[in-house]
Amino acid sequence: MAKLIFADGTEEIVKDGSPIGQPCEKHGIFRACNQGFCGTCIVTIAEGSENLTPPTQQEIDFLGQDGTKKERMTCQACIMKGCVKLA
């Protein structure tokens, strides 16, 4: 099982390989298009970015290659293992 830690300190346990969009939405991070086009679900990763899937082409197109190191789209990223802390 993997863990998401939100900026307010709350935690969500999810299955390894799960998309992070739904748990993030439960904690108030809105997502509109679910396709990686609008950018409403962009979050900053404080720790554990290595535990997420590689950035999708939609994320690279929207954030730029360098932007995907600290920011991710919750509609695109999945947590593979371990812990990810959002800023």
Residues of the chain below pLDDT 50: none
Note the pLDDT tens digit of each residue in 8-31. 999 999 999 999 999 999 999 998
Domain ranges of the chain: 2-86
16 token code pair: 């390894």
**What's the pTM?**
0.92
Find where tokens 């962009």 sit: 42
- 38-71 residues labelled b (16+ CB within 10 A) or e (exposed): ebebbbebeebbebbeebbebbbebbeeeebeeb
Q: Give the model's pLDDT for residue 66.
A: 78
**With left for phi above 0 and alpha for psi between -120 and 50, is residue 84 left, alpha or beta?**
beta
Q: Please tell me the CATH code under which domain 2-86 is placed.
A: 3.10.20.30
